[in-house]
Amino acid sequence: MPARVLVVFFLLALLAHPAPAAPKARPVTQEVLDNGLTVVVAENHATDVVTLNAWVKVGSREETDEINGAAHFVEHLLFKGTRRRKVGAISLEVESIGGQLNASTSFDFTQYYIIAASRFFDLILDIQADALMNSTFDPVEVDRERTVVLQEVALNDDSAVRSGFIQLYSTAYRAHPYRRPVVGRREIIQRLTRDQLFEFYRTYYGPANVTLVIAGDVATAEVMVKVRRVLGAWRHAVQRRAAAPAEPPLSEVRRAVVARDVRVATILLGWMGPDVRNPDHYALDVLTFVLGQGRGARLTRSLRDRQQLVQSIGAAFGTSVDPGLFVIQAVADPQQQDRVELAIHTELTALRDQGVTDEELDRAKTLIEMDTLVDQHTSRGWASAIGYSATIATLDYHDTYLDRIRAVTREDVQRVAARYLDPQRYAIVVVQPRSR
């Protein structure tokens, strides 16, 4: 599904995953080195900028309850000092060349990127390689970043939407690790030790778990020689991604209420959808735009514009390694909660029974295509799309996504709506004002 941003917290990543398709005119080359490192080079000489984007196949999905939040905590520490660079040196080096450095964690991955003028490619490659191979997790820095992570936890708690999404996932999932928040829980973050975090890093950070994407103003043959020289000797065995506990199908409507200091109600409904390997997810992406993306979406026109039941409403489906949630989110007056839920079901029933129009189908496909192309206009957006696809699926997924979207029919959309949006089997969370 097309993306507008990548963020640390998976809630927003769910709403806007990196777009998995790119214009095919630009050359993309993939090579797997002898040590298992996957390298993808995507040339684009429109500007003299390059993005170096390292994707690691580890996220909160690989955690246990006892170390929930470790993947995100490790992300905070990777650039905070290595055997060759003291604490703070990496940020100063990147800043000195006018570059940008950032990272994010999700259920299924952790990713790091550096953007700089292409003439500084050798330096940013050395920095990224050093961090991947030689991070030290300085104990003082661990405690400093613990404070930062706890602030993020507090921000999530204070946000009606974020806390609602966390509750929605913990309500919908009982067995699968998607039930745990990506950022972690306060009591666990407070007690995670430096040794636990370093062990997590050493367990999962190795060449066989990493895809390195280089997008922008580079020559493929030249940068491949440099990557082999810098990272080809990296030898570190890692734990590969394993099957997660299967989530039993929802057999009922599961409800939860979260009381917050708010004036409006945030209503979230979630249905279990397919994983990335199931071709149904292409039709669900289209359904997402039909129902709840843009001013012309069905739910927006009906519940907001005609019935004036909600202040805002939207739909989201985050393509993921394992079955994720198809989510409808609305903001409304607390007195209208029941009416909003009923009105959503009325629209879903009409869609399941009558399907979508040609106009709705064409609009959804056009929006997906335009979002995809716009998101990948920069080297950063292109690297994100390639890395996301290669990490949760394959590079081929990136190459074929838009073709698969264009092939979706009205019958496909109606079929997946009937299959996945069961009115008797979903999770619902309402974040509402505290009782006075």
Look at phi and psi of residue 276 and say left if phi exceeds 0, alpha if psi is from -120 to 50, else beta.
alpha
* Phi and psi angles of residue 197, each rounded to the nearest 5 degrees, phi first: -65, -40
Domain identity same for 218 and 293: no
- Picking from 200, 231, 262, the residue at the C-terminal end of a domain is 231
Domain identity same for 272 and 378: yes
Buried b (16+ CB within 10 A) or exposed e, 123-151: bbbebbbbbbbebbbbeebbeebbeebbe
Number of other CB atoms surrounding residue 358 within 10 Å? 8
Domain identity same for 189 and 286: no
- Picking from 176, 201, 231, the residue at the C-terminal end of a domain is 231
Residue at 369 is within a domain: yes
Domain identity same for 166 and 56: yes
Domain identity same for 200 and 297: no
The pTM of the full predicted model, rounded to 2 decimals, is 0.92
How far, in whole angstroms, is CA 110 from its chain's centroid? 9
Domain identity same for 192 and 300: no
Residue at 244 is within a domain: no
CA distance 348 to 61: 31
Domain identity same for 82 and 43: yes
Q: Are 368 and 3 in contact (CB under 8 A)?
A: no
| Number of structural domains the chain divides into | 2
Residue at 4 is within a domain: no
Say what the pLDDT of residue 5 is. Answer: 28
CA distance 300 to 347: 11
Q: How many residues does the chain have?
A: 436
Domain identity same for 350 and 216: no
Q: Is the dihedral of CA 243, 245, 249, 252 positive or negative?
A: negative
CATH of the domain at 376: 3.30.830.10
Q: Which residues contact 412 (CB under 8 A, 6 or more apart)?
A: 282, 283, 286
Domain identity same for 113 and 55: yes
Q: Residue 64 is part of which domain span?
A: 10-231
Say what the pLDDT of residue 26 is. Answer: 60
Domain identity same for 77 and 206: yes
Residue at 365 is within a domain: yes
Residue ranges in the chain whose pLDDT is less than 70: 1-26, 436
- Picking from 231, 265, 295, the residue at the C-terminal end of a domain is 231
Residue at 100 is within a domain: yes
Say what the pLDDT of residue 14 is. Answer: 39
Q: Which residues contact 86 (CB under 8 A, 6 or more apart)?
A: none
Say what the pLDDT of residue 299 is. Answer: 98
Domain identity same for 65 and 125: yes
Residue at 70 is within a domain: yes
CA distance 177 to 36: 26
Residue at 72 is within a domain: yes
Residue 123 amino acid letter = L
Domain identity same for 174 and 282: no
CA distance 55 to 43: 18
Q: Are 19 and 376 in contact (CB under 8 A)?
A: yes
Tens digit of each residue's pLDDT (9 = 90 or more) over 62-105: 999 999 999 999 999 999 999 999 999 999 999 999 999 999 99
Residue at 241 is within a domain: no
Say what the pLDDT of residue 436 is. Answer: 54
Instruction: Tell me the β-bridge partners of 270.
Output: 327, 427
Which one, of 15, 52, 25, lies nearest residue 383 by Cα?
Answer: 52
